[in-house]
């Protein structure tokens, strides 16, 4: 493999010195970019775009051509594993992801098989290897998966939910069914992410989008314990070739210490967390990723720059911070404003790092 030219992102996650704070954006390959919209139209639909390695590579590279980002992230979807389990993922206009089959009881769970990442999910591995080759060592490639809890919510609810009534009822009334589902999903994620590493992923993210809807006790039982199992099962290596792992629970700011104790390398923060307080709480145990409110990208470049300064001041001096949004960039953002955000981080952050 080509020697990596820019290690800034990996070094920050591993708490090694960097010359400035690295930056990438969640959903940086997305609908806010006109070139992405054109490529998606060419593909025909979202999943066809995900399953075409060349087109998935193209949209992964698009933001890197526009902006001086410090990492690329695999273009895919968090629901690839449930789809590979045979639930029939599709996207309803205006409603988001849906499944043709739902998980209703322990018999449904027992019928699920852990997918083979080199068979049912080979298109993801093809995309990873294609992107890694196209990057030519310019920046590292981030692979990812949804967390078991987040994947389970979609599988039991049949799609997106506001109340999560079906899966919470399962947790309270049939906890053995939910634990069996989460255990199968954790095993699937371990195999999936290890296959991404083998295909060329140099860092990993686990997106726990819906962990924040749980009570503290249920979060530990149904979400965190399974993410910790995944961290333990990953072939991340060591030294300068270590593949750092970041866990991101949206709405999980009250549990930062618990998340940091899983053995992960980085903890993602949403914008409801004060980054100075987060750093005090976790100390030197993990790096922090975040955490600007994505909605600030609707403001003027001057206001965006002010917010970047506030977050840099909050984290303070030293390594261990990966600058990012507190969630994904939204489709209506002007690409020029995204550029102003990235420029502000690259220009202002060097003052927080010793030469």
We report the CATH number of the domain holding residue 128 as 3.20.20.210
Q: Is the pLDDT of residue 130 over 90?
A: yes
Task: Specify whether 90 is catalytic.
Answer: no
Residue 194: inside a domain, yes or no? yes
- Contact between 277 and 239 under an 8 Å Cβ cutoff? The reply is no
Tokens read off for 20: 């400035």
**Known binder of ligand: residue 327?**
yes
Task: Specify whether 40 is catalytic.
Answer: yes
Please report which confidence band the pLDDT of residue 90 belongs to, taking 50, 70 and 90 as the band edges: confident
Residue 33: inside a domain, yes or no? yes
Residue 46: inside a domain, yes or no? yes
| CA dist., res. 308 & res. 302, Å (int) | 10
Residue range 61-73: average pLDDT?
98
**Known binder of ligand: residue 29?**
yes
At residue 3, the pLDDT reads 84
Q: Is the pLDDT of residue 305 over 90?
A: yes
> Annotated catalytic residue: which of 9, 67, 154, 219?
154
Residue at token pair 């990438």:
24
Q: What is the mean pLDDT of the chain?
A: 96
At residue 354, the pLDDT reads 84
Q: Identify the H or E element spanning 142.
A: strand 141-146
Residue range 234-240: average pLDDT?
90
| CA dist., res. 166 & res. 251, Å (int) | 20
Please report which confidence band the pLDDT of residue 216 belongs to, taking 50, 70 and 90 as the band edges: very high
> Annotated catalytic residue: which of 37, 40, 66, 220?
40
Q: Is the pLDDT of residue 355 over 60?
A: no
197 dihedral zone (left: phi>0; alpha: psi -120 to 50; beta): alpha
Please report which confidence band the pLDDT of residue 2 belongs to, taking 50, 70 and 90 as the band edges: low
Please report which confidence band the pLDDT of residue 129 belongs to, taking 50, 70 and 90 as the band edges: very high
Task: Specify whether 77 is catalytic.
Answer: yes
Residue 139: inside a domain, yes or no? yes
Q: What is the pTM of this model?
A: 0.97
3-class SS of residue 313: helix
Please report which confidence band the pLDDT of residue 96 belongs to, taking 50, 70 and 90 as the band edges: confident
| CA dist., res. 117 & res. 87, Å (int) | 16
Task: Specify whether 293 is catalytic.
Answer: no
- Contact between 177 and 170 under an 8 Å Cβ cutoff? The reply is yes
Q: How many residues does the chain have?
A: 355
Residue range 196-225: average pLDDT?
98
Residue 273: inside a domain, yes or no? no
Q: Output 330 or 355, whichever has higher pLDDT.
A: 330
Range 230-251 burial, b when 16+ CB lie within 10 A, else e: bbeebebeeeeeebbbbbbbbb
| CA dist., res. 203 & res. 337, Å (int) | 27
Share of residues in the chain with pLDDT > 90 (%): 91
Residue range 182-191: average pLDDT?
98
Task: Specify whether 31 is catalytic.
Answer: yes
Residue 304: inside a domain, yes or no? no
Number of domains in the chain: 1
Computed on alpha carbons and rounded to an integer, the radius of gyration of the chain in Å comes to 19
Q: Residue 148's domain spans which residues?
A: 29-66+71-235
| CA dist., res. 121 & res. 79, Å (int) | 11
Please report which confidence band the pLDDT of residue 239 belongs to, taking 50, 70 and 90 as the band edges: confident
> Annotated catalytic residue: which of 7, 8, 20, 27?
27
Residue 320: inside a domain, yes or no? no
**Residue-wise pLDDT tens digits, 14-53:** 999 999 999 999 999 999 999 999 999 999 999 999 999 9
**Known binder of ligand: residue 12?**
no
> Annotated catalytic residue: which of 11, 70, 77, 265?
77
Q: How far does Cα 314 stand from its chain's mean position?
A: 23
Residue 110: inside a domain, yes or no? yes
**Residue-wise pLDDT tens digits, 258-270:** 999 999 999 999 9
Q: How far does Cα 38 stand from its chain's mean position?
A: 24
């Amino acid at each position: 493999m080509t020697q990596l030219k820019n290690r800034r992102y990996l070094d920050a996650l591993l708490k090694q010195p960097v010359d400035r704070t690295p930056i990438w954006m969640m959903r940086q390959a997305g609908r806010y970019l006109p070139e992405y919209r054109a490529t998606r139209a060419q593909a025909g639909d979202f999943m066809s775009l995900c399953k075409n390695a060349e087109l998935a590579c193209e949209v992964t590279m698009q933001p890197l051509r526009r902006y001086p980002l410090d990492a690329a992230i695999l273009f895919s979807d968090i629901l690839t594993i449930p789809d590979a389990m045979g639930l029939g993922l599709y996207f309803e206009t205006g409603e988001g992801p849906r499944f043709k089959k739902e998980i209703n009881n322990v018999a449904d769970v027992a019928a699920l098989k852990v997918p083979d990442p080199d068979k049912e999910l080979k298109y993801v591995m093809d995309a990873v290897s294609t992107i890694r080759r196209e990057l030519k060592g310019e920046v590292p490639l981030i692979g990812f998966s949804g967390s078991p809890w987040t994947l389970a919510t979609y599988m039991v609810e049949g799609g997106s939910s506001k109340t999560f009534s079906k899966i919470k009822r399962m947790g309270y009334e049939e906890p053995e069914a939910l634990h069996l589902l989460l255990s199968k999903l954790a095993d699937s994620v371990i195999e999936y992410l290890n296959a991404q590493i083998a295909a060329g992923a140099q860092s990993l993210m686990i997106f726990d989008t819906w962990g924040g809807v749980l009570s503290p006790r249920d979060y530990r039982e149904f979400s965190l314990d399974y993410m910790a199992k995944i961290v333990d099962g990953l072939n991340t290596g060591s030294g300068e070739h270590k593949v750092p792992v970041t866990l991101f629970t949206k709405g999980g700011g009250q549990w930062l210490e618990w998340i940091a104790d899983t053995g992960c390398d980085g903890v993602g923060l949403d914008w409801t967390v004060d980054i100075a307080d987060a750093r005090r709480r976790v100390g030197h145990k993990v790096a922090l990723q975040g955490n600007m409110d994505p909605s600030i990208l609707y403001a003027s470049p001057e206001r965006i720059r002010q917010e970047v300064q506030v977050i840099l001041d909050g984290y303070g001096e030293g390594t261990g911070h990966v600058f990012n949004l507190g969630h994904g960039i939204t489709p209506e953002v002007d690409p020029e404003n995204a550029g102003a955000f990235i420029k502000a981080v690259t220009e202002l952050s060097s003052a927080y790092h010793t030469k």
